[in-house]
Structures are given as C-alpha cells and as structure tokens.
C-alpha cells in the first residue's frame, strides 16, 4: 500500500518536471535588423579597431528651424535648466556656451544627456519632458556655443539679459569625446 502511494507520488513529480523542458524560446541567430544599433549616441571617444565611424546625420529637423530654437530657449527657462546651467554660463552644472563637451556635442548626445541623465547631478528627464520639446532644447543648447547657423539661432533676448543673444555668440570648435562632423 505504502509502495503504491510512493509510486504515484514519484510518477506525478516526473510528470510535473516535463513542464520545465520547454521553458524558453531561444533565438540562436537574431535577424540582421534586430542586431542594428538603435541608439546612435556615442559617449566614449575610444573606437576599437581603426578610425571612428562617420557620424550619422543629425536626426533632428529642429536644428534648422528658428521657431523651434526660440521655443527651446523658452523651455530652457520654463524647465529651469538655468537653475544649474545659469543661462549657459554654468554654476552647479557645467557651462553650455564653451567648447568643452563632456558627453558629446552631437544632437543625439545631448538628447541622451537630457533624457537619460548623466552621473554627478544631471537628472533624467525621461517622460518628464515630451520628446519634441527635448529636441527643441537640444537645438537651443547647441546654439549657445554658436553651433547653429546664425539665421536659425535666436537673435534677441526676451528678457533683460546682459549676455548677447545666441546668434551673436562666437562659434566654438567643440572638443571632448566626439567632434562635429567635418563638412
């Protein structure tokens, strides 16, 4: 009697283990499209192998729209970027009007910086700032050091700033991990 119960229990346990055999689907060789790098932002200046790959074209149409850049300027105030970056001059956060880019000067670098945040204080604004507004901010931040054409950068200030408007800022040659693409 005891023997038959033991047999029953053992066979039930054996049946139960069968369910574990097919516990995951393994995609042994992902399709080529899935293995593409989605995020184009390059954060390190080291490139294994040989020379750096050509920088992908800017994904942002906002770099060419004076309206978008002026919107970015307004948003820069509304989201209190000046709280740390002080109208681009720097304070708690690094200055934005000089040529030194710790995490890259490309639009996608700056986008990543705003959305994901950076170590030592830059908060992540993921979900807090709608995506199109981030791109407007990116374009404005680049105009602060003269990286946008003069006809796109804001040519006057809305408030009584001592600082000249962005269109009058001297163009800086970015240094840091990634340079501007050569044109």
**Spatial separation of the C-alpha atoms in residues 130 and 74, rounded to whole Å:** 15
Residue 102: CB minimum distance to other proteins, A: 24
Check binding of 35 to other proteins (CB under 8 A).
no
Which residues, 6 or more positions from 79, have their beta carbon under 8 angstroms from its beta carbon?
125, 129, 137
77 or 181: CB nearest other proteins: 77
Contacts 24+ apart (CB under 8 A), 50-57: 52/178, 54/181, 55/106, 55/178, 55/181, 56/108
Q: In this chain, which of 43, 55, 59, 75 binds other proteins, going by CB under 8 A?
A: 75
Residue tagged 């931040």 (tokens)? 141
Q: In this chain, which of 58, 66, 79, 99 binds other proteins, going by CB under 8 A?
A: 79
What 3-state class would DSSP assign to 101? strand
133 or 178: CB nearest other proteins: 133
84 or 129: CB nearest other proteins: 129
119-148 residues near other proteins, rule: CB under 8 A: 127-130, 132-133
**Spatial separation of the C-alpha atoms in residues 142 and 8, rounded to whole Å:** 73
**Spatial separation of the C-alpha atoms in residues 119 and 128, rounded to whole Å:** 18
Binders of other proteins: how many residues, by CB under 8 A?
Answer: 10
Q: Using the 8-state DSSP alphabet, how is residue 29 labeled?
A: S
22 or 159: CB nearest other proteins: 159
For residues 40 and 53, the answer to whether their CB atoms sit within 8 Å is: no
97 or 134: CB nearest other proteins: 134
Residue 57: CB minimum distance to other proteins, A: 26
Check binding of 156 to other proteins (CB under 8 A).
no
Of 9-17, 41-49, 50-58, 71-79: span binding other proteins (CB under 8 A): 71-79
Check binding of 70 to other proteins (CB under 8 A).
no
Interacting residues with other proteins (CB under 8 A): 75, 78-80, 127-130, 132-133
């Amino acid at each position: 009697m005891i023997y038959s119960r033991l047999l029953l229990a053992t066979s039930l346990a054996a049946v139960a283990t069968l369910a574990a055999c097919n516990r995951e689907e393994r995609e042994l060789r992902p399709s080529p499209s899935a293995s593409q790098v989605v995020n184009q932002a390059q954060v390190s200046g080291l490139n294994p192998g040989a020379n750096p790959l050509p920088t992908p074209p800017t994904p942002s149409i906002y770099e060419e729209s004076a309206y978008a850049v002026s919107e970015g300027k307004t948003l820069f105030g509304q989201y209190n970027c000046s709280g740390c970056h002080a109208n681009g001059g720097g304070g708690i956060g690094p200055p934005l009007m000089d040529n030194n880019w710790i995490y890259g000067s490309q639009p996608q670098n700056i986008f990543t910086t705003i959305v994901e945040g950076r170590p030592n204080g830059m908060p992540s604004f993921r979900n807090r700032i709608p995506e199109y507004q981030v791109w407007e901010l990116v374009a404005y931040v680049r105009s602060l050091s003269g990286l946008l054409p003069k006809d796109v950068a804001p040519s006057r200030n809305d408030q009584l700033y001592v600082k000249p408007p962005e269109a009058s800022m001297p163009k800086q040659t970015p240094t840091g991990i990634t340079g501007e693409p050569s044109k």
